């Protein structure tokens, strides 16, 4: 597949690009700063752009078989914290720009969201959904708008909602489900989540579903 990854210099996005390349896909990495993309590969193309700019998004999406969106406004890696964009609706606006760029709103789209968003608010044990939204009010509100836009589209979408992401090595035991229970201490390694996002690219069983994942 020809796959474009948005947020490809983020902590999860880089791993998604690596995983997609390892799986034999042709990858376009959409980045704000080319210098922050350390990967090199014969099947990798790096495109500079801003997800908030519809024109640059449209150019990157053109000709793609699938889109993986790992956009985020609050990078966690120490080296990335200076790039945080508090109050900027990167997830919702960026995803709306992606959807507008997809031919007639159709095609394959995988979006990384978060637990506590949508139905997963209710599957969080002991008020976990409330606590996450309380701690990350603006971020979660942006992701709610992001998910709403995806659900209203005609594309073959999948929303993936990881528990708290960690930088630990892949564990290979990721659990996934539309009604999967989680709690405030639940985690998911970025490596496992990245592999999952790539693995479901051509899995119709995941189309038009919002899936919670955790280790």
The contacts of residue 132 (CB under 8 Å, 6+ apart) are 114, 115, 116, 124, 140, 184
pLDDT exceeds cutoff 50 at 87: yes
- Are residues 68 and 17 in contact, defined by beta-carbon separation less than 8 angstroms? no
Mean pLDDT, residues 63-82: 73
- pLDDT value at residue 78: 52
- Model pLDDT, residue 73: 56
Class of 2-214 per CATH? alpha beta
What is the CA 101 to chain-centroid distance, rounded? Answer: 17
Structure confidence at residue 81 as a pLDDT band (50, 70, 90):
very low
Label residue 187 by pLDDT band (50, 70, 90): very high
Q: Are 26 and 43 contacting, i.e. CB atoms less than 8 angstroms apart?
A: yes
pLDDT recorded at residue 79: 54
Mean pLDDT (whole number) for 53-74: 92
Provide the strand spans (E) within 113-202.
Answer: 156-162, 164-166, 175-177, 187-189
Assess whether pLDDT exceeds 60 at residue 77. Answer: no
- Supply the pLDDT for residue 57: 97
Cβ neighbour number for residue 35 with a 10 Å cutoff:
8
pLDDT at residue 31 in the model: 94
Q: Taking the chain, what is the end-to-end CA distance rounded to the nearest angstrom?
A: 28
Region 164-190 average pLDDT = 96
The Cα 22–Cα 17 span in angstroms is 9
Q: pLDDT tens digits, residue range 19-50?
A: 999 999 999 999 988 998 989 999 999 999 99
Domain residue extents for the chain: 2-214
pLDDT for res 106: 80
Report whether pLDDT(83) > 90: no
78 in Cβ contact with 130 (< 8 Å): no
The region of weakest confidence among 18-27, 77-86, 105-114, 158-167 is 77-86
* Residue-averaged pLDDT of the chain: 92
Instruction: Output the pLDDT for position 88.
Output: 72
């Amino acid at each position: 597949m020809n796959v474009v990854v948005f947020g490809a210099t983020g902590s999860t996005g880089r791993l998604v690009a690596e995983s997609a390349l390892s799986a034999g896909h042709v990858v376009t990495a959409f980045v704000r700063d080319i210098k922050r993309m350390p990967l090199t590969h014969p099947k990798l193309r790096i495109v500079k752009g801003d997800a908030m700019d519809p024109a640059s998004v449209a150019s990157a999406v053109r000709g793609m078989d699938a889109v993986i969106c790992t956009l985020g406004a609050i990078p966690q890696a120490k080296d990335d914290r200076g790039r945080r964009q508090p109050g900027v609706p990167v997830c919702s606006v960026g995803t709306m720009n992606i959807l507008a760029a997809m031919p007639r709103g159709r095609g394959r789209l995988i979006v990384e969201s978060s637990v506590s968003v949508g139905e997963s608010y209710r599957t969080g044990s002991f008020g976990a959904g409330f606590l996450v939204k309380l701690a990350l009010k603006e971020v979660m509100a942006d992701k709610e708008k992001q998910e709403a836009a995806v659900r209203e589209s005609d594309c073959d979408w999948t929303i993936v909602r990881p528990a708290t992401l960690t930088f630990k090595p892949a564990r290979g035991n990721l659990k996934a489900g539309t009604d999967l229970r989680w709690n405030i201490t639940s985690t998911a390694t970025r490596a496992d989540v990245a592999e999952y996002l790539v693995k479901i690219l051509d899995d119709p069983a995941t189309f038009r579903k919002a899936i919670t994942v955790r280790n």
